[in-house]
Amino acid sequence: MTAVSRAWGRLTLPGRIVFTLVPLLAVLGAGLVALIVLFGGTAADLILANLGFVRFLAAATIILVITIPIAFLNIYLEMKVIALMNLRVGPDRVGPWGSLLSVVHGLKVLIKEDFTPTAADPIVFTWAPVVTYAAAVMTLLVLPFAPGLYGQDFNIGLLYFFAVGGMGVVGLLMGGWSSFNKYSLLGGLRSAAQIVSYEIPLTLSVVGLLILAGTMSLNQIVQQQSGWFTDWFVFRQPLGFVIFFIAATAEANRTPFDLTEADSEIVAGFATEYSGMRFGFFFFAEYVNVFILSALAAVLFLGGWNAPFPFPALSIPLYPGSLGIPLLFLIALVPIIGTLALAAPFYLARSSMRWWVALIIGFVLFNVVAGGLTFAWAYVSFDWVAGLVWFMAKTFGFVFVFVWMRGTLPRVRIDQLMGFAWKWLLPAALLNLFVTAAAVVIVGS
């Protein structure tokens, strides 16, 4: 006994962790194997029988999780792009080019005090960020990221999107109402007025597109835009696109329509009294919203996951499994040979270079080349990879425009905002709808 305790006492902390974890993992792994052996067939049958439901569960979980990196990426983009436009450097300390700063921001809001004002309504105050965040996450469910890569393909997908997306304002209103702060109240009411007003042109602007497409399923709308980029709806509905973009800016509370959190007027609007992770939820929801509206703009008007031009159909007859035993040799030798081959020119060209520096350069280069080749192979072989690349490129293009606008434009006034929605956007959206409908009737008859 004493020998064991003495040996344990000599172990360092990592050693103790290893000695604890390895047996634990072994036991658990054995148990898992036993479970699979005993009940594997039944479980597989159960999953296969309820495939749709399991798929939905998986999609919902993945979507909930994926909002976090999306929000982090958007926050980082916002910080960095605006900084560069301001002739600043922006985040450059945490991670490469400061790219982990938004993660640190996320951790920061997690460990901050979760503060509730004395006279606030605690229940409404607590649930307000949840409502906003849930609305943002739920809209992600119908977005088609790539062929076969979507949460659910509704036939009323667009309607669902607007209906659920409109719920976000309820959270803002709740937050503003319950904070016991007049700035919050003003911000909440502003957001209600603004978002309700801009819902109408936003929805009307896509009705013309719906007439052309004949469906509300986002997947089918994307499929109809396949082919050349001239098939994208932005060229058939330019006015609709402009209206959609302006209204989406207002929907996402982005500059120049960020009146709900106008810091020079009403401090932070509805979020004035929020701190800690509750504020973090508002913050995340805002940036997820930016992503979602950008994605919707890409899906509706820029062809979603379609490439701008059809690629010549390439099929690479590369089946790694057919190589057999030589594949093992290939896996073992290609990295070494590639590294040496790429390192040799550097070592030979510059006599002052140490051999290990050349090897490191060669290794990095080999990884870049191999990664690029693998990506190219995946891009050609799997259409979901290609689709995801194009979708993300378009979406983050829109996100960049949103951030760019924030870096450039001042804020409009509340009466100008409302006047613009009702006097200009709404008639323009109706005109767009009327012209589209007339054109469809005339061409169709």
Partner 1 sequence: MTTTSHPGRHASADDPRVLLDDEIGVFGTVPPYPPRTEREAEFYTLGDGQMFLNMGPQHPSTHGVLRIVLKLDGEKVVDLDPVLGYLHRGVEKLCENADYHQVISQVDPLEYVSSLFCEWSPVMAFEKLLDVDVPRRAEYIRVLSGELNRIASHALFMGWFALDLGGLTPILWSFIERDEIVEMLAALTGQRMLFNYFRIGGVNGDLNHDFMSRLGDWMSRATGQIEANLTLLNQNEIFVRRARGLGVVDTETALAMCMTGPNLRATGSPFDVRRAHPYSIYPELDFDIPTRTEGDSLARYLLRMEEIKQSLRIIDQCLHQMPDGPIMAKLPRLLRPRPGRAYAAIEGPRGQYATYAISDGTDQPFRMRIHDPSFVHLQSVGLLMRGDLIADCMAIMASLDPVMGGVDK
Partner 2 sequence: MSMNPIRLVPGSGMVRGMALTLRRFFEPKATIRYPEVRADIPPKFRGRLQLLYDEYGTLKCETCFQCAQACPIECIDMGGMDTKGRFHVHWGAAETYGERREESALRRSGRTVPDPAYDHFEGVDVGAVDDILEGFDHDPAHLLAILEATQAHYGYLPVGALKRISQVTGTWYAQIYGTASFYGHLRFEPPALLEQAAAMAARRPAEQAFLAGLGASLSGGGGDDA
Q: How many residues bind partner 1 (CB under 8 A)?
A: 41
State how far the Cα of 394 lies from the Cα of 295, in Å rounded to an integer. Answer: 8
State how far the Cα of 195 lies from the Cα of 149, in Å rounded to an integer. Answer: 30
Q: Does 88 bind partner 2 (CB under 8 A)?
A: yes
Among residues 22, 32, 40, 263, which is the contact residue for partner 1, using CB under 8 A? Answer: 263
Pick the stretch among 77-85, 95-103, 214-222, 314-322 that binds partner 2 (CB under 8 A). 77-85
Q: Does 250 bind partner 2 (CB under 8 A)?
A: no
SS (H, E, C) 310-330: CCCCCCCCCCHHHHCHHHHHH
Q: Does 406 bind partner 1 (CB under 8 A)?
A: yes
Our CB check for partner 1 shows the closer of 146 and 417 to be 417
Kindly state the tokens that stand for 194: 């603004």
114 binds, among partner 1, partner 2, none (CB under 5 to 8 A by kind): none
State how far the Cα of 370 lies from the Cα of 266, in Å rounded to an integer. Answer: 53
Q: Does 180 bind partner 1 (CB under 8 A)?
A: yes
C-alpha triplet 307, 312, 316: angle, nearest 5°: 105
Q: Phi/psi at 225 (nearest 5 deg)?
A: -95, 10
Q: Does 84 bind partner 2 (CB under 8 A)?
A: yes
Nearest to 339 by CA among 319, 320, 316, 358: 358
Site mask for partner 1 (CB under 8 A), range 68-87, x = bound:
--------------x--xxx
State how far the Cα of 282 lies from the Cα of 75, in Å rounded to an integer. Answer: 13
Kindly state the tokens that stand for 68: 């976090």
Q: Does 413 bind partner 1 (CB under 8 A)?
A: yes
Our CB check for partner 1 shows the closer of 88 and 423 to be 88
Q: Which residue reads 């929605």 in tokens?
A: 421
Q: Which residue reads 């490439």 in tokens?
A: 307
Q: How many CB atoms lie within 10 A of CB 329?
A: 10
Our CB check for partner 2 shows the closer of 174 and 246 to be 246
Q: Does 247 bind partner 2 (CB under 8 A)?
A: no
Our CB check for partner 1 shows the closer of 350 and 413 to be 413
Q: Does 114 bind partner 2 (CB under 8 A)?
A: no
Q: How many residues bind partner 2 (CB under 8 A)?
A: 13
Nearest to 405 by CA among 294, 254, 261, 243: 254
Our CB check for partner 1 shows the closer of 112 and 411 to be 411
Pick the stretch among 50-58, 149-157, 323-331, 405-413 that binds partner 2 (CB under 8 A). 405-413
Our CB check for partner 2 shows the closer of 374 and 408 to be 408
Among residues 56, 92, 149, 435, which is the contact residue for partner 2, using CB under 8 A? Answer: 92
Site mask for partner 1 (CB under 8 A), range 118-157, x = bound:
xxxx--xx--------------------------------
In whole angstroms, the minimum distance from the beta carbon of 89 to partner 2 comes to: 4
404 binds, among partner 2, partner 1, none (CB under 5 to 8 A by kind): partner 2
92 binds, among partner 2, partner 1, none (CB under 5 to 8 A by kind): partner 2
C-alpha triplet 98, 70, 265: angle, nearest 5°: 80
DSSP 95-153: SGGGTTHHHHHHHHHHHS-----TTS-HHHHHHHHHHHHHHHHHHGGG-EEETTEES--
Q: Phi/psi at 208 (nearest 5 deg)?
A: -60, -40
Alpha carbon distance, N-terminus to C-terminus of the chain: 94
Q: Does 88 bind partner 1 (CB under 8 A)?
A: yes
Our CB check for partner 1 shows the closer of 81 and 285 to be 81
CB-based burial, 82-100: b 16+ in 10 Å, e otherwise: bbeeeeeebbeeeeeebbb
Task: Pick out residues in 43-62 that bind partner 1 (CB under 8 A).
Answer: none
In whole angstroms, the minimum distance from the beta carbon of 163 to partner 2 comes to: 31
User: 159: burial class by Cβ within 10 Å (0-12, 13-18, 19+)?
Assistant: middle
Q: Does 431 bind partner 2 (CB under 8 A)?
A: no
Pick the stretch among 214-222, 224-232, 309-317, 404-412 that binds partner 2 (CB under 8 A). 404-412
Chain positions contacting partner 1, by CB under 8 A? 82, 85-88, 118-121, 124-125, 177-180, 182-183, 185-186, 190, 255-256, 258-259, 262-267, 406-416
Chain positions contacting partner 2, by CB under 8 A? 81, 84-89, 92, 404-405, 407-409
